[in-house]
Chains A and B, each alone.
Chain A
Amino acid sequence: MVTIFIDGVAYDVDGEHNLLKTALELGFNVPYFCWHPALHSVGACRQCAVKQFKDENDTKGKLVMSCMTPLTDGMHVSLADPEAQAFRASVIEWLMLNHPHDCPICDEGGECHLQDMTVMSGHNYRRNVFPKRTYISQDLGPFIHHEMNRCIQCYRCVRYYRDYAGGDDLQEFAGHDNVFFGRYKDGALESPHSGNLVEICPTGVFTDKTFKQHAVRKWDLQTAPAICTHCSLGCNITPGERYGTLRRIRNRYNGDVNGYFLCDRGRFGYEFVNDDKRIRKSVMRYGGSATETDAATAASKAGELVSAATRVIGIGSPRATLESNWALRDLVGEGNFYAGVSDRQEALTEQAVGMVRDGVLSGATLAEVEQADAVLVLGEDPVNTAPRLELALRQASRRAPIREAGERVHVPEWKDKALRVTVQDKRGPLFVASPYATSLDRIATDALRRAPADIARFGYAVAHELDEKMPEVSGLSDDEHQLALRVATALRNAEQPLLVSGTSLGSEEVLGAARAVAEALAGRKASARQFLVLPEYNSAGLALLEPRPFSEAIALAGRYRGEDGDGTSTVAVILENDLYRRESKDVVDGFLGNVRSIVIDHSDSRTAEKAEIVLAAATFAEGSGTAVNNEGRAQRSLRVADPSAEILDSWRWLRQLAGDTEAVLDSVIDALVADLPQFEGIKECAPPATARTGGRKVPRQMPRYSGRTSMHAARDVTDHQAPADEDTPMGYSMEGHHHAAPSSLMTDYWASGWNSVQALNRFQEEIAGPLRGGNPGVQLLSGNRAAGSGMASANRPAPAIPEAFSPRDGSLYMAPHYHIFGSEPTSARGRAVALRAEEPYVGISSRRAGELGVRGGEPLQVALEAAEGTSRTVTLPARVMPELPPDVGCLPVGLDDEYFTLPAWATISAANKGGSA
């Protein structure tokens, strides 16, 4: 701690930081542009100038840039000094020389940092009489709109995009007063984290292109705290809604999870909510004809169907909330509740959740991932399965060199440019084992390309090198052995080693090996952490409800059908799920033929098309509930929009089927917790609906929300009462106490003088630290935070090290390959994400391509081995992936309608040539 004097007043502050951050934390209004809490100081814009004095007797002082000024005990500075104020106004004057001042037609208007800083600096009269500079803006793809004329050259975009996020197709070009930020030519930005430019840019150069088609001002959006549904990490988001459509997604800061950034799937994957394929009204099918029906009739018909049935089974879903899955389980009974995922996915999820629950190693938050200084990624492909993790790992890969540089040159970490100059492109230990190339390879110390079984064996070898009590792996190559030794040494020598693994390779062996590494590391390193990627949004929550395997439901339905003869009296209630993405078409056709099905879902699917009754369910935009993320963190997502009377939360439909017509979210949570006390913690995720802040609900609308009384004027002119919301402590109103809300309900960061996302500074305990009142979310898996409990391997049978991968003549071992855009089905329904999704393909090694005589793009016939000696054949264009081991291929997940159980053996032949490999 040091004491500093700001305009003569003493403050005791942490001396590790720079003056700008500290002054902002103390509540002072210091304007800035190039500084950002996650990007730190470079001193480019010169906006944050203040006066520093030698001592209390110095009256002259000199201007310094507060972002570049370290704190020293007894330092005297002045923010109010006239020269400093005049200089800050001059910087705005310079920046505004060329700014087009097109705020009325700019999507950033009203939440523009440049507007805020201009007002804050006091500059308001234009003296420049010369023509303004103009640029030609670019088409940067479906996500980002580019308007270069607004640029004030703060360099934040390239510092974020290149230095922080590792992208290389956005760059500064030209020089002097003509610097241009863009791509070398038009084209979609390649970084999967490009959307953060929207919030990084202090003005309207990079704006959300999906928002542009239906942009409104920030204050005209209703907002609520929600959780991203597009992967298992549970990033916190703020959806914005107007006139019944979801307009955009913004990052909602959570210091433990996503921090300042989202991935592009999370930010732009919302468009499915507004899609034509949405189920907006319940449907009943008799014979061949489908009839839309109102919610009350649908509920009563579905209720009749359920009560008349001899047997009711429930098919749960990892993309539905905990409340909905539990309500289904409660409706059908514990023994009739099945996982709506493939058996393999369920087993893998259970295996990974088991590691989290057992606390083999302490689980890492994403914030802790960034602090790791040695990482082993074992059989996971973060950019495609958990994209925000990839961004965190990019930061982790710089930890070790940053520390080394700090020790050598004594540069504080907030001096970003100086640190980067010293660190250069050095990276700390980061090892990736995967069958195919990953986005991390370029920054990896080493990348191992192997079939899943060999990745597992490599993991065991690392475990053995870490702890000789772990069994030795026989038959490793020298290279593998040396690499295992290097990985083990790096993990052992690190201050905060991290193990990353997950379910996406579809390999229990890989997860088994991950557990062995974790156990070996636990004995060695108390500070070691694990991070396990799960398949979907609420995979952990579903697993914790212990559903029975889906295959049992399929078998059972078949058996009952046999018993019932022609008519079936088995009713299947299918929750937010397209079973055709879970099992092969034949199997699902068979299953759906054996049951009378009620589908509760928000979007049309082949499963819904076959249902007798389809109940229109809420998306995250209209629904509320809790999900458990990959690290066991339960988080509440609250609806942003009032659903029409026809759309209900899935859990509400299910409670109605169970005869509970009065169900509200809290009553469901209470019943859930009464049934399964291990979920007690979810009550703390967010306040109950009865909670009031200053006697009122927390408003979804800003104080400046406009048009409330005229929004419906085209229909009728009566003043509509604000919709009631019995499920959440939030109101559809602008009245209430916005900024006294607990952090779990905070969405619209807004402070006097701060209208942009930068207002967040005012709502954190420490800038870039926890939110005031703590980051929201409750850790449910208690074992998780117990530091390295180490689950002594003595308690478990010795792990079974798999046999080395052995090629089969004429076959390829096909691994699943996920894609950030396309593999996750709900986001892929959106227009922008669909534009970025790839076409389906079959990936083969160069050697196989040579043997088959095929080139990229030529059709290949893939005969995949399925159950009991059967095989399924598809024809797909070849993609030659030189990095693949010769006998390994891959198929993309979810890019077309066919579901494949992967990994699996396949025979491949050139569709036009008849050769086979």
Chain B
Amino acid sequence: MAAETPLTGRIRPGSEPMWIDEYEAHGGYQALRKAVGKMKKKEVQGVVKESGLMGRGGAGFPTGVKWGFTPMGDDAVHPKYFIANADEMEPGAFKDRFLMEGDPHQLVEGLAVSSYAIGADVAYIFLRNHYRLARKRLERAIEEAYRQNYLGKNVLGSGYNLEMRLHISAGRYICGEETALISALEGNRPIPRAKPPFPGASGLFGMPTVVNNVETLCNVPHIVKNGAEWFQGLSKTDQAGTKVYGVSGRVNKPGCFELPMGTTIREILEHAGGMTDGYKFRGVLPGGGSTDFLVDEHLDLAMDYQTIQGAGSRFGTGTMIVLDDKTCPVAFVANLMKFFGQESCGWCTPCREGLPWLARVLYAIERGEGKASDLDLLSGHTDKIWIGKTYCALAPGAIEPLQSALKYFREDFEDHIQNKRCRWS
């Protein structure tokens, strides 16, 4: 395994993943053997916290800190739950799919070790409905892990019991929001929950629960095995680890690339083979569909949480979508807005009513039916549909591409309105 690509090193795109024997031969389940029953739970938490691992699902919250919210000790309530958030539906994101299809045991091991760290009794993998191949592979990996007693009763004789279940989502974007995911897993509508209480105190079925992204969990075995310092050393910046970056759009080699955290956008685009001939780079949503555009001036920024935030966007899932010079930014944003409006759970007013309205206005502009006042209407909404004003982060996420498009591509909007047509169609 190449040291620089711990997460993807075992993956052989286009071929079968490593099943149990091969996985074990390549260092698999050593972290689990090292941790379960041999390390105290708090020690496992400690090394992950020390490593500086931050959530790879979009919010970038320190993983060890999140684990620390669950009640520990002999008088802690049970059952406790650990959930792998495999409901990858962020526009532009396919990194978790790559990891699950390519190395399913890595997730199973990561989830098991993480479950041990908080003393979880049951672990769930909440998988996106459409990830059929990942489903098949995870099912087999779980079964193999049970057979080797990496899961189940009395794991490796440690006295620790862990059941692991694969749950197939009914399929909504909002299920990726961790509290909506919990609601869905309970069999309820996927409506997010207000915090507090946090899932660490009252999550699945009202019990202490941790939800972590697939990529986050895949890091855990490597951290436990190689230590916090090793993990920090992988990065180019002070935010530790590698990152499975993704690139889509009109580039020569769209795909996933595991690179040191803090690799610049330009370098990542180079890994993706640069722009397709005849297309010029115009902008990029750096962290998936729900992040603000960055443009030329940002290409040499390091792709990490802090730097991207400093530039007025979000690191998100680290899976960028490139806007080229032959694609209409209004249509681009309208399409995203329509998606987010459709994926609203329908609970809070700004998201349920506001996003579809914005989508209609954007499509009207795109069709050449826009009015001058529409720009005020759009920009007025970017203020009002924002964190704290909406119930969860879905709608603010939908606003991010719009507000940044209004900032960087305003002339395109004005051109549509003034000339009553889209100049790309």
Residues of A within 8 A of B (CB): 42-47, 49, 62-64, 68, 86-87, 90-91, 94-95, 97-98, 127-128, 130, 152-153, 155, 172, 174-179, 405, 408-411, 415, 417-418, 421-424, 426
Contact B357 A176 (CB under 8 A): no
Partner among B77, B189, B202, B346 whose Cβ is within 8 Å of the Cβ of A418? B202
* Closest B residue, CB atoms, query A405: B206
- A422 and B206 in contact, given A130-B357, A408-B77 (Cβ under 8 angstroms): yes
Contacts of B355 in A (CB 8 A): 177
Contact A153 B388 (CB under 8 A): no
Contact A422 B202 (CB under 8 A): yes
Contact B77 A177 (CB under 8 A): no
Contacts of A177 in B (CB 8 A): 341, 344, 346, 352-353, 355-356
**In the docked arrangement, what's the CA distance between A178 and B355, Å?**
13
Which of B45-53, B82-90, B192-200, B256-264 binds A?
Answer: B192-200
**In the docked arrangement, what's the CA distance between A288 and B346, Å?**
68
Contact A91 B202 (CB under 8 A): no
- A424 and B356 in contact, given A87-B389, A127-B377, A417-B194 (Cβ under 8 angstroms): no
Measured CB to CB, the closest approach of chain A to B405, in angstroms, equals 21
Contact B357 A418 (CB under 8 A): no
Q: Which 6 residue pairs are nearest across A and B when measured between Cβ atoms? A: A94-B353, A179-B346, A422-B202, A422-B206, A176-B344, A177-B356
Contact A63 B389 (CB under 8 A): yes
- A68 and B344 in contact, given A172-B189, A176-B352 (Cβ under 8 angstroms): no
Partner among A62, A86, A128, A153 whose Cβ is within 8 Å of the Cβ of B352? A153
A sample of 21 cross-chain residue pairs with beta-carbon separation below 8 angstroms, ordered by A number, consists of A43-B348, A44-B349, A62-B388, A94-B349, A127-B373, A130-B360, A176-B341, A176-B342, A176-B356, A177-B341, A177-B355, A179-B346, A408-B77, A409-B201, A411-B202, A417-B193, A421-B197, A422-B206, A423-B206, A424-B205, A424-B206
Measured CB to CB, the closest approach of chain A to B232, in angstroms, equals 34
Identify which of residues 132-172 in chain B touch chain A, using a CB-to-CB cut-off of 8 Å. 172
> Is B345 in the interface zone, CB < 8 Å from A?
yes
> Is B26 in the interface zone, CB < 8 Å from A?
no
Contact A155 B347 (CB under 8 A): yes
Contacts of B341 in A (CB 8 A): 176-177
- A175 and B201 in contact, given A43-B194, A130-B357, A421-B206 (Cβ under 8 angstroms): no
**In the docked arrangement, what's the CA distance between A20 and B388, Å?**
16
**In the docked arrangement, what's the CA distance between A639 and B203, Å?**
53
> Is B60 in the interface zone, CB < 8 Å from A?
no
> Would you give the 0/1 interface string for B192-231, flagging 1 where the beta carbon is closer than 8 Å to chain A?
0110110001100110000000000000000000000000
Partner among B193, B345, B384, B389 whose Cβ is within 8 Å of the Cβ of A421? B193
- A418 and B196 in contact, given A46-B389, A87-B384, A408-B77 (Cβ under 8 angstroms): yes
Pick from B205, B343, B344, B356 the residue with the most CB of A within 10 Å.
B356
Contact B342 A46 (CB under 8 A): no
- A94 and B357 in contact, given A46-B349, A179-B346, A418-B194 (Cβ under 8 angstroms): yes
- A43 and B391 in contact, given A153-B352, A177-B353, A421-B202 (Cβ under 8 angstroms): yes
**In the docked arrangement, what's the CA distance between A417 and B193, Å?**
8
Partner among B201, B349, B357 whose Cβ is within 8 Å of the Cβ of A128? B357
Partner among A62, A95, A174, A175 whose Cβ is within 8 Å of the Cβ of B353? A95
Partner among B172, B350, B380 whose Cβ is within 8 Å of the Cβ of A175? B172
* Closest A residue, CB atoms, query B351: A176
- A176 and B349 in contact, given A49-B389, A94-B354 (Cβ under 8 angstroms): no
Measured CB to CB, the closest approach of chain A to B61, in angstroms, equals 20
**In the docked arrangement, what's the CA distance between A421 and B182, Å?**
10
**In the docked arrangement, what's the CA distance between A421 and B197, Å?**
9
Measured CB to CB, the closest approach of chain A to B320, in angstroms, equals 26
> Is B390 in the interface zone, CB < 8 Å from A?
yes
Measured CB to CB, the closest approach of chain B to A546, in angstroms, equals 53
Contact A95 B349 (CB under 8 A): yes
* Closest A residue, CB atoms, query B179: A421
Measured CB to CB, the closest approach of chain B to A326, in angstroms, equals 55
* Closest A residue, CB atoms, query B189: A172
**In the docked arrangement, what's the CA distance between A176 and B395, Å?**
11
Contacts of A178 in B (CB 8 A): 346
**In the docked arrangement, what's the CA distance between A49 and B360, Å?**
26
Measured CB to CB, the closest approach of chain A to B357, in angstroms, equals 6
Contact A411 B194 (CB under 8 A): no
Contact A45 B388 (CB under 8 A): no
Contacts of A95 in B (CB 8 A): 349, 353
Measured CB to CB, the closest approach of chain A to B102, in angstroms, equals 32
Contacts of A49 in B (CB 8 A): 389
Additional A-B contact list (11), CB under 8 Å, known A172-B189, A422-B206: A90-B350, A127-B377, A153-B346, A155-B347, A172-B346, A175-B345, A176-B342, A177-B352, A409-B197, A411-B197, A422-B202
Contacts of A97 in B (CB 8 A): 353, 357
**In the docked arrangement, what's the CA distance between A97 and B361, Å?**
13
Contacts of B357 in A (CB 8 A): 94, 97, 128, 130
Contact B202 A63 (CB under 8 A): no
Identify which of residues 373-399 in chain B touch chain A, using a CB-to-CB cut-off of 8 Å. 373, 377, 380, 384, 388-391
Measured CB to CB, the closest approach of chain A to B340, in angstroms, equals 9
* Closest A residue, CB atoms, query B345: A175
* Closest A residue, CB atoms, query B346: A179
Contact B350 A176 (CB under 8 A): no
**In the docked arrangement, what's the CA distance between A775 and B88, Å?**
55
**In the docked arrangement, what's the CA distance between A68 and B194, Å?**
9
Contacts of A175 in B (CB 8 A): 172, 189, 344-346
Contact A90 B384 (CB under 8 A): yes
Partner among B201, B205, B343, B388 whose Cβ is within 8 Å of the Cβ of A64? B388
Contacts of A63 in B (CB 8 A): 388-389
> Would you give the 0/1 interface string for B383-423, flagging 1 where the beta carbon is closer than 8 Å to chain A?
01000111100000000000000000000000000000000
Contacts of B77 in A (CB 8 A): 408
Measured CB to CB, the closest approach of chain B to A79, in angstroms, equals 16
Measured CB to CB, the closest approach of chain B to A181, in angstroms, equals 11
Contacts of A91 in B (CB 8 A): 349-350
Partner among B202, B347, B364, B377 whose Cβ is within 8 Å of the Cβ of A44? B347
* Closest B residue, CB atoms, query A426: B206
Contacts of B356 in A (CB 8 A): 176-177
